[in-house]
A = this chain, B = another copy of it.
Amino acid sequence: MSLRNAVMAALLDGESSGYDLAKAFDASVANFWICTPQQLYRELDRMEADGLIAARTVEQERRPTKRLFSLTAQGHEELTRFTASPHKPTAIRDELLVAVLAADSGDVEAVKASIRERRQWAEAKIARYERLRAKLLGDRTEDEFLATAERVGPYLTLLRGLSFERDNVRWCARCLTVLERRGARLDTAG
């Protein structure tokens, strides 16, 4: 039921089409939630049926007709109720972690390659988040922004995504050091 709430939170920025939401998810909410377009369209249909969002069909020249969704009063209410409800903690749930857990009796070189790849990916994400951050701040300092901006939620969640990826980079580096050192030891010992 949480994709639903994430969508509603995303619609706080104004009405949006399913297609745009898919891209927006990729660009901003993706800091902490990901989903496929299919999931989004299905959920949007259900949310409309449940009266949480309203659709407005917009005919376009030279482009397919699209449907713009916006939060209804009921949707707003529901979102507020959600923010007031308790939230279960989550785990990382990352395949790479499973691979590292099993690395000792698996293909260590391949795992190291995966870690390197992940580190690069995380660095790219960090760069993207930093650009997004600069865009959000505009010419304000962080303090000015936090004091004056209408919404700080997007900024705070961006910070979480940013530190998550920074942490990933550090951990990847640490793993590589450890695994390489062990590799060297095993080579000279065996």
A-side residues, CB < 8 A to B, are 2, 5-6, 8-10, 12, 29-34, 76, 79-80, 82-107, 110-111, 114, 117-118, 121-122, 146-147, 150-154, 156-157, 159-161, 163-164, 167, 170-171, 174-175, 178-179, 181-182, 185
Given pairs A79-B102, A146-B181, 10 additional interface contacts (CB within 8 A): A2-B93, A5-B102, A6-B101, A31-B92, A79-B105, A86-B114, A90-B93, A100-B153, A102-B153, A147-B185
Number of chain copies forming the complex = 2
Q: How far is the CB of A37 from chain B (nearest CB, A)?
A: 16
Give the Cβ gap from A154 to chain B, nearest Cβ, in Å: 6
List the B side residues contacting A102 at CB < 8 Å.
Answer: 5, 8-9, 12, 79, 82-83, 153
